[in-house]
Amino acid sequence: MSSLADKASIVGIGATDFSKDSGRSELRLAAEAVRAAVADAGLQPSDVDGLVSFTMDTNTEVAVARAAGIGSLNFFSRIHYGGGAACATVQQAAMAVATGVAEVVVCYRAFNERSGMRFGQVNSALVHQVNSSGTDNAFSYPHGLSTPAGFVAMVAQRYMHEYGATSEDFGRVAVVDRKHAAVNPAAFFHGKPITLEEHQTSRYIAEPLHLLDCCQESDGGQAIVVTTPERARDLPHTPVSIAAAASGSGPDQYIMTSYYRPELAGLPEMGIVGDQLWNQSGLRPEDMDMAVLYDHFTPYVLMQLEELGFCGRGEAKDFVRESGALEVGGRLPLNTHGGQLGEAYIHGMNGIAEGVRQLRGDSVNQVPGAEKLVVTAGTGVPTSGLVLTV
């Protein structure tokens, strides 16, 4: 067993206001989130000596360091593949801390896609990539397969055909996310739960995906502080141990268009990451008190339940149909912050923060006695995950 649990801890989380359009630059949002996370950890910006971000972030680490008041850096890194990078940022931070390269590393992501660039629209730049994904997109875009919702709809249709899942099964994920978001003051959809009927009558975006199957386009930033367990003992919050951290890609992996595999109705890259998480941590799905699963589109939540071993292949539809299964007090409380459908779409970084809150015991939808949980990152792309414990 190769565990990071005794080598790196999460000690701080910080975010901007997700509840409205900010109109602020991504640099300002990132700096605000970083400063908030460092303050939450009981540290000063001058204590930070490492930064990890996403390659898709519009700001370099040195620009964020200047804006946040951070001095010299011993370590910085950028992770690829959009939302798939979320948990991998913490993985890289933990490795930097565990190996002594840096002592306090902050991971961050910032968006102004609600008031700025609309992230879910057609992105013609993807056609011009000089690689196999660019070639694939150059063929499919003229035929209308050109948005994230469209990419996911193809796999969702196959999943429904293979296993008998329905649009209502996908809708159950959206309903529970919005139920949790409704009591979360930080959520964009605070006070706005939905019913399954409302989900079913919302307009189609790309059949079988309704509007309410699709995550938001959000303004906001989220940051996570990682340091050594020794330093963590002197800080104000209960340290959250990184019991496992993994990242990986599947066979014949494309970027949300992996349609050339023999098996289309699944997410094998999440299965690869899940195997690493359980092997590293020595824990199993049945040991988890809850889960934060990447929910940019609802069908991929059902597939993750299967890939991670919470249920068998094709059985997630039955899992989510069980009354209250995904709510606090249920079989597997899910996305208690409201997820990316209910709280905000910050490429999954806000899901990691919710995992930390749960283990500290201060979530707005607290799972009683939560001590172990799994968090996943973007699906349909090379992906990553964490097992967090106290």
CB 79 within 8 A of CB 132: no
One of 108, 159, 254, 345 is an active-site residue; which one? 345
Integer Cα distance of 229 and 9 in angstroms: 6
Structure tokens at 170: 């996908």
Could you confirm whether 254 is annotated as catalytic?
A: no
Structure tokens at 114: 């609600």
The total of other beta-carbon atoms located within 10 Å of residue 25's CB is 15
One of 81, 108, 254, 294 is an active-site residue; which one? 294
Task: Report phi then psi at 195, rounded to 5.
Answer: -105, 165
How far from 99 is each of 43, 75, 96, 227, CA to CA, in Å?
21, 12, 5, 11
Q: Which residues are within 8 A (CB) of 305 and not within 5 positions of it... i.e. 6 or more apart?
A: 293, 311, 316, 319, 320, 332
Q: Which helix (H) or strand (E) holds 303?
A: helix 299-307
Could you confirm whether 345 is annotated as catalytic?
A: yes
Residue 327's Cβ-side half-sphere holds a number of Cα atoms within 13 Å equal to 12
Which residues are catalytically annotated? 294, 345
